[in-house]
Structure 1
């Protein structure tokens, strides 16, 4: 059985974030995720989750300027204090909202001569995050992001994710596997998920290229979802795409799974 979440940062943007919880429920979702929930108070989010009987599965540690073309927080040596403050903020939200996983975005290195220093900083900060989230019973995840959309992103391949996992060797740490990003990098997502499902803490998807809903690109999602279902992966699958048309018009892919 596949369990899907609506990513409220990209879906239902026809309405304000506070109103997307009801929109997701009405569309058939029982769980949601948010990239960065911090424009709303944790109490306001909790109220909406309770009102609509929704589970908040995942959100990210704040990444500062990452989405505006900057390097983010988690890998930048000069921003370690800022990252720790962001983790503290995340803990405050997590204590009330109780997500299953929290994502730490590795970030970018825009000066290639500093890449090794940035990677070292990211791993140290990832361990700091694990220590903060683990006592709450929350998994820490991190993801690879394609370098076409985000040039300089320091973790951008399946092999890099596996390497970080092996080096840190923490049972509370998992990969967040984003099918869109890995398809953009030419990775073999079906094979990887089948072989490494036990190391994946969360999956997200969008079609490739374009990052639209299934059916707008070249990814065979009937086959992809079948692979995930057979892989033994039992976590949530986040619909994190940019709808072509309205969000409701983009949800035809969900119909076969509506009963789940």
Structure 2
């Protein structure tokens, strides 16, 4: 059975972020991740996590304007300086929060920039982040995000991401796979996981379509979790879904011990 973590940016949003740690612990989670923790002081979040006895396992680097529909920072050839500033901020938060992994969001293609140079920029920035965070024992991940929900994303499939990681060629940089995004790209999940799991440091999931909790869509998540066990995956599986109703009512999959 995989180890499950709660994504506090999508779960327990009925509460302020500092209160979500205790709610996650009460629901049975031992670990959490946060997409962007930067609206709160890191010491405040660390205190809340310690009080709830849950580990913060992953955060994202700041991504600039990406979540507002922009190109983001990590792959844009003209945004090297803002990316370095984001890396410094993420590095500071990761250290203070005791985070084990930092995810770099690749960003969208800018049609005014050369596509090959965009991918090269992403590879160089991932190598830089990998080198910088390795000094603190923090691993760097990057994920493929489907180009239906996020059109123009630089890496929308594991194959595209694998090519970038090969160019980055840094031992402290790995793939993050999200089962929802794989399904949205209509990829065959068993074969994809078998192929890319050796390069994967972290997994996230939501049912598809809808991006809600397990059991609301068509993904055979129980079978996929069993497959991950068979393939020898020992990392975390983070629940990164939007509850169809409330967070607590969505957790039947966890209490049933998938």
Structure 2 partner of 1:83: 83
**Retained in 2: the 8 A contact 1:143–1:177?**
yes
Where do 4+ consecutive residues of structure 1 move more than 3 Å?
none
Superposition deviation, residue 112 in structure 1: 6.7
Matched position secondary structure for 1:103 = strand
Partner of 2:92: 92
TM-score by length of 2: 0.96
Cα separation, 1, equivalents of 2:256 and 2:242: 21
Q: Per the alignment, in what secondary structure is the counterpart of residue 257 of structure 1?
A: coil
The equivalent of 2:175 in structure 1 is 175
State how far apart, in whole Å, the 2-side matches of 1:97 and 1:238 are.
18
| Aligned residue number for residue 118 of structure 1 | 118
Cα deviation code 1:191-241 (max 9, x no counterpart): 222233221110000111111111111101111111111111111111000
Structure 1 partner of 2:203:
203
Question: Which position in structure 1 is the counterpart of 2:238?
Answer: 238
SS at match of 1:75: coil
Aligned to 2:56: 56
How many residue pairs match? The answer is 258
- Counterparts of 2:112 and 2:238, CA distance in 1: 32
1:197–1:232 Cα contact (<8 Å) kept: no
Q: Indicate conservation of the 8 Å contact 2:141/2:175, yes or no.
A: yes
SS in 1 for 2:203: strand
Distance, in Å, in 2 between the alignment partners of 1:136 and 1:169 is 19
Structure 2, gaps ≥5 residues long: none
* Runs of 5+ unmatched residues, structure 1: none
User: 1:169 deviation in Å?
Assistant: 2.5
Between the aligned partners of 1:214 and 1:227, the Cα distance in structure 2 is 16
Q: C-alpha separation between the residues in 2 aligned to 1:67 and 1:225?
A: 29
C-alpha RMSD over aligned residues: 1.3
